[in-house]
Amino acid sequence: MTKNKRWAIAVAFAATLLAAFIFGGCSPAATSTPTPEVKEIGFAHPELLVETDWLAGHLKDADLRVVDARKAEDYQAGHIPGTVSIPRDSTFDPAAPKGMAGQPEQIATLFGSKGIDEKVHVVVYDAGKDTAAARVFWTLEYYGHPRVSVLNGGFKKWQAEGREVTVEEPSFTAVTFTVSPAPAIFSTREEILADIGQADVVILDARSPAEYRGEDVRAKRGGHIPGAVNIDWVENFTAGDVPVLKSAAELAQLYEAAGVLRDKRIHAY
């Protein structure tokens, strides 16, 4: 995995996006039109984000598994055909503080039971402008799956386009999901403590400004990690009734303005 991709995945996990930092190259951006002063660039790893048109044309591919990361009851009410349900919270370690990644054996059983191994391309979606798909994406990346993407716009965009929705639940033959943890994309408490104040490091707080300022307290204490910069995760999406990920150019402008640069080590939370 390249340095840029590790950087992208770390930010994707905390900011709930898969490609906010995977910009680069010269291909046109597809999700929105940047302001005139923004230089047009493309994502360096566009394969990590798929559009609804692409998914609709590949739903019957034998080597594709589509994962619905929403809550089980939302999946049961209607989902994209051929989709398996793997709610975000099912990837958490039930014996650890909420939000910690599941243990290797748990993850291997969970994904293997849904017919997911290293041979298939996994596309994950959530409601749209949400956090669930990026978290499941990150979990798969962390445990070594080589081909994972997120559906741009999620289920909301799929529905808005009038595409087929079903309540039928497919079944796949269980396979062996081999876990290969990638510690390089996981920031530990000790690493962050050691990096506070370092010139070549950026600590990125993806929560709301009120949480960052300590006005909205959802943990034992309010406030933020010393030196952290704040970019609310919702800023990564376009406005409108069916939000999608902003263009690479717009995201580059957003993050570079905050000092989140390619040559920095990034800790996102």
| 258 contacts 47 by C-beta, under 8 angstroms | no
- Extract the residue ranges of the chain whose pLDDT is less than 50: 1-14, 16-39
Q: What is the pLDDT of residue 42?
A: 87
| 96 contacts 179 by C-beta, under 8 angstroms | no
pLDDT tens readout for residues 55-95: 999 999 999 999 999 999 999 999 999 999 999 999 999 99
Q: How many domains does the chain have?
A: 2
Tokens at 110, concatenated: 């969970």
Q: What is the pLDDT of residue 10?
A: 38
What CATH number does the domain containing 266 carry? 3.40.250.10
Q: Does some domain include residue 212?
A: yes
Q: Can you list the alpha helix ranges (DSSP code H) found in the chain?
A: 3-15, 52-58, 72-77, 104-112, 132-142, 154-160, 189-195, 209-213, 248-257
Domain's final residue, options 151, 182, 213: 182
**Cβ atoms < 10 Å from Cβ of 204:** 24
Residues 55, 166, single domain; the answer is yes
Question: Which among 45, 53, 39, 54 has a CA at the least distance from the CA of 253?
Answer: 39
Q: Does some domain include residue 46?
A: no
Q: Does some domain include residue 110?
A: yes
Residues 203, 168, single domain; the answer is no
Range of the domain at 198: 1-41+187-269
Domain's final residue, options 182, 208, 231: 182
Residues 68, 167, single domain; the answer is yes
Residues 88, 157, single domain; the answer is yes
